[in-house]
Amino acid sequence: MTDAAPERDDNARHAEKAKKRKAAHNKKLEGMSDDKGLLIVHTGTGKGKTSAALGMVFRHIGHDMPVAVVQFTKSEKWNTGEAKLLAKFPELVTLHIMGEGFTWETQDRERDIAAARAGWERAKELIRDDRHRMVLLDELNIVLRYDYLPMPEVIAFLLDEKPADKHVVITGRNANPALIEIADLVTEMTLVKHPFRSGVKAQKGVEF
């Protein structure tokens, strides 16, 4: 026996439970206006998951609609073009970066869990806050994949406490089946061809 089998069972059970709750949730929303907040997931092993989410964040900024971004992985990623541009709109953008909390390389699991928890608590505040039309939870799938946060808690919050007119965008490969089940819009980015396999370095403006 390996660890993989129980994990698959867990996933199937969570997904089944999530499906039922989503159906009940949809019933509750019937007859509501078209101004519906979507739960959007970008997953898959290809490029463009975060870029496409940022495209939506910047669309909101263009419309003068406030947005919030919680970055669930290392901070270096956000010393970037997107961070610089987001910083030009402090009145529209709320940004929470996991930053120093995360380690990965040092394998300090307790510290990573604490950082993930802090990020998730902030994410909940931002999703509940009426001010923001969209909240991006960048790379949350990675944190869930590593069990740094309990999936059932995340699913329950998104189903029960996400305001009906709020968009929440979740990125990262290996999206959990339960999350896909409750999502409204799911896109898988698939790698067809990648230059870094042939030795080209990540490019400023393209990758970061």
Q: Which residues of the chain form contacts with its own copies (CB under 8 A)?
A: 34-36, 38, 40-44, 46-48, 50-56, 58-63, 65, 80-86, 133-134, 167, 180, 183-195, 200-201, 203-206, 208
Give the integer Cα–Cα distance in Å for 44 and 151: 19
CB of 170 to its own copies, least distance (A): 13
Question: Would you say 116 or 135 has its CB closer to its own copies?
Answer: 135
200: DSSP letter: P
Nearer to its own copies, 116 or 169 (CB): 169
Measured from the CB atom, the residue of 124 and 132 that comes closer to its own copies is: 132
Q: What angle do CA 97, 172, 170 make, to 5 degrees?
A: 70
Distance, in Å, from the CA atom of 34 to the CA atom of 54, rounded to the nearest integer, reads 23
Shorter beta-carbon distance to its own copies: residue 51 or 75:
51
Minimum gap (Å) between residue 64 Cβ and its own copies: 8
Residues 6+ apart with CB under 8 A from 94: 66, 67, 68, 69, 126, 132
Neighbour tally for 168: CB within 10 Å: 25
Least Å distance, CB 166 to its own copies, is: 11
- d(CA 126, CA 52) in angstroms, rounded, equals 21
Nearer to its own copies, 115 or 178 (CB): 178
Closest separation in Å from C-beta 87 to its own copies: 8
CB of 184 to its own copies, least distance (A): 4
Report the alpha-carbon distance of residue 199 to residue 203 in Å, rounded: 12
Strands 67-71 and 93-97: parallel
